[in-house]
Structure 1
Amino acid sequence: MGDGDLKNLLSNSKRGWGGREGVFEKSIRKEISESYGLIYILTKALGEMYYGDIIKRKEIFPS
């Protein structure tokens, strides 16, 4: 990324304050939503594995 790119990012992000979203905010928001999506998928998968295990145990050993 050159100096010009950085200046463009900064000027675009400044423009974003005026209602129009800048490139910088968009990329940050995209990063955040992608990482949250990944965390959500992982926790969901872990939860399903964990609860699935409990359900299976209850089928084998009904209380």
Structure 2
Amino acid sequence: MERSILVELSEHGGRGQLSRLKDRRPMERLVNKGFVERHTLNGQQEEYVLTAIGKKVLDNK
């Protein structure tokens, strides 16, 4: 499952694109899967979002 999240991120432009997405659906999918807390969608920087994803992925190993 961790790999699918990373694949999904790379398909949507990876790190540089996350903060500039006008369409929030990719992030919503990550939230719905429990990989990102909802409050990170409210103007937080992409580094925080990726840190949250990275911690979740590492915790699941």
Normalised by the length of structure 1, the TM-score is 0.29
- The structure with the larger Rg is 1
Structure with more of its chain in helix, by fraction: 1
Larger relative contact order, structure 1 or 2 (CA cutoff 8 Å, min sep 6) = 2
